[in-house]
Amino acid sequence: MKEADVKRAMVKSIKEHGGYARRIEDQYAVGMVDTILIPKGLPVFMAEVKLVKGITFSPSPRQFVELEQIAATQSYHVIPVVIGYKIESRNYYFHAPQMFIRCVDCFSITTSDMNFHQQLVQYYHSRRI
């Protein structure tokens, strides 16, 4: 499985639940987040998606700058997030923008019984506590 396959599945899951999602593929938009996710009735998630190899993952330095600029707006309408996906366990890992992210520090539902849309909604609600 490639990163593109993961993003494609994420977009499909959001759309199947009445939301909007789109992969952004632009080789000239250096540092731009690669996915926009809008679950029905929730804010916009500007997401950088990474495959997890080992116990950590991270955006590139330029992607981190972009995510930090989004976070600096302090908007409740747009949420920057880094999403890791571990192929072996089929787990998603959600974390606020940070240069180096450890899986154990992430919001994660360690079951594949819950689809991506449901997990993103759970992540959103976990942030509000």
27-69 pLDDT, tens digit per residue, is: 777 788 999 999 999 999 999 999 999 999 999 999 999 999 9
Which of 117, 18, 123 is CA-nearest to residue 81?
Answer: 123
CA–CA separation, 85 vs 91, rounded Å?
6
One of 3.40.50.620, 3.30.160.100, 3.40.1350.10, 3.30.365.10 is the CATH number of 3-127, namely 3.40.1350.10
CB atoms within 10 A of CB 60: 13
129 has pLDDT over 70:
no
The structure's pTM equals: 0.93
